[in-house]
Structure 1
């Protein structure tokens, strides 16, 4: 029996997202979390991440911000660390335990970490893609998101296609796997069902080489009515499929429980043009790998 049914596929097409229980077993979730704990334990924190920004030194600030931006924009074929605000003091030391300092780790776990590679290319994921009619899906990026207790930041309403733009639109799908229960209290996702039918209003683009900042936005995010958002809590091991144009958000985690997630994006590459202005670009070291191979 297919993990994704015909009825599921229809609901995904109608709403722009879909929640499915039981993609991973609790033991598989724990294994992925344990491996991430090992990665965090031995992480090498980039020096520019420890710098206390100062607006009194404009040129210094520009250099520091450029370092942060460059660290992000060149992370597509690497495993890099991105921190919550306020977790370093003015000496560059942690103000919280380092395992609670991270916002996310990305963007190539699927390529370099065997456990995450296996989860990404699993038969269930491949079956979902085939059921949705994807002929030549490729993996664009992957992230481990921590949503730390008490400080896990809000993610404002957005569309993934703003950052991962294709021609035609609608060729990108997010796969969001809950490694712990994602609840109303610890910052589950919220969606506007059907909003993927309205196109996008904003694009994040690379700026011309040698200019600063390294990325900019074309257009503006639309204003959304809070009443239209529907919460999408999901149990540990469950998955949320996210159509690239659907509007979604998450609230700050004010609870005492983390909300760990492994998420990645896939794109139907057949008859699809990947925008050369996207921040994320395939590289010689890591072309976008095919989903249907390991």
Structure 2
């Protein structure tokens, strides 16, 4: 029996998202979290990532910001660390426990970490892609999002295709796997159902000029009606499929509970052009791996 039902497919196509329980067992979730705890324990934090930016006008900071921007834009084929605001003092030392300092780790967990690779290419995930009719899906990126207790930052309303643009649109899908319960209290996702049918109004693009800023936005995000957003809680081990153009957001985590997530994006590569202006680009070291291989 397929993990994804016909009803799930219908809801995904209608609303732009669908929740399916039980993609992973509780034990599998715990294994992914344990491995991530080890990665954080062993992480080496580059100096330029420890900087708290006090001004954009200081010439000395420009070089450090250049390093930080480079660190992000070249992270597509690496495992790198991105921190919450206010976790370093002015000397670059942690003022919160290291495990509580990180916003996310990305963007190549799916390629270089065996446990995450196994989940990404699992029979259930491949079955979802086949059920949706994907012929040649590739994995674009894989990341771990922490949503730390008390400080896990807000993610403002956006569409993934703003950052992962294809021609034609509609070729990108996110899989967002809850490694602990995601609730209204700890920052679950909120969606505007059906908002994936109106295209996009904003794109993040590379500036291709080698100087700051390395990326820029073209167009602007629409103003969205708060009343149209619906909360989408997910049980531990469940997955949310996210259409590349559906509008979604998450609130600050003000609770005492973290909201750990492993998330990755797929693209149907057949008859699709990946934009050379996207911040994320395949590399010689890591071409976008086909989903239908282990």
TM-score range, shorter chain: over 0.9
Secondary structure at 1:23's aligned position in 2? coil
Residue deviations 1:195-253 (CA, integer Å, cap 9, x gap): 00011000000002323200000000000000000000000000000000000000000
Deviation at 1:56, TM superposition (A): 8.0
Answering whether residue 149 of structure 2 is matched by residue 158 of structure 1, we say: no
Structure 2: gaps (5+ residues): none
Provide the residue aligned with 1:83 in structure 2: 83
- Taking the aligned partners of 1:261 and 1:173, their CA distance within structure 2 comes to 16
- Taking the aligned partners of 2:57 and 2:221, their CA distance within structure 1 comes to 31
Whether the 8 Å CA contact 2:52–2:86 is kept in 1: the answer is no
Provide the residue aligned with 2:140 in structure 1: 140
Provide the residue aligned with 1:2 in structure 2: 2
- Taking the aligned partners of 1:192 and 1:149, their CA distance within structure 2 comes to 25
- Taking the aligned partners of 1:126 and 1:56, their CA distance within structure 2 comes to 45
Secondary structure at 2:218's aligned position in 1? strand
Matched pairs, number: 294
Matches within 5 A, 1:143-222: 143-222=143-222
Deviation at 1:67, TM superposition (A): 1.2
- Taking the aligned partners of 1:274 and 1:118, their CA distance within structure 2 comes to 25
- Taking the aligned partners of 2:96 and 2:52, their CA distance within structure 1 comes to 16
The ranges of structure 1 where at least 4 consecutive aligned residues each deviate by more than 6 angstroms after the TM superposition are: none
Deviation at 1:66, TM superposition (A): 1.3
Provide the residue aligned with 1:270 in structure 2: 270
Provide the residue aligned with 2:54 in structure 1: 54
Of the structure 1 ranges 236-245 and 44-53, higher mean CA displacement relative to structure 2 is found in: 44-53
Provide the residue aligned with 1:24 in structure 2: 24
User: TM-score of the superposition, structure 2-length normalised?
Assistant: 0.99
CA distance change for structure 1 residues 130 and 96 in 2, over 3 Å: closer, same or farther? same
- Taking the aligned partners of 2:129 and 2:52, their CA distance within structure 1 comes to 44
Secondary structure at 2:197's aligned position in 1? helix
Provide the residue aligned with 1:293 in structure 2: 293
Whether the 8 Å CA contact 1:53–1:64 is kept in 2: the answer is no
Structure 1: gaps (5+ residues): none
- Taking the aligned partners of 1:67 and 1:232, their CA distance within structure 2 comes to 37
- Taking the aligned partners of 2:195 and 2:54, their CA distance within structure 1 comes to 40
Provide the residue aligned with 1:66 in structure 2: 66
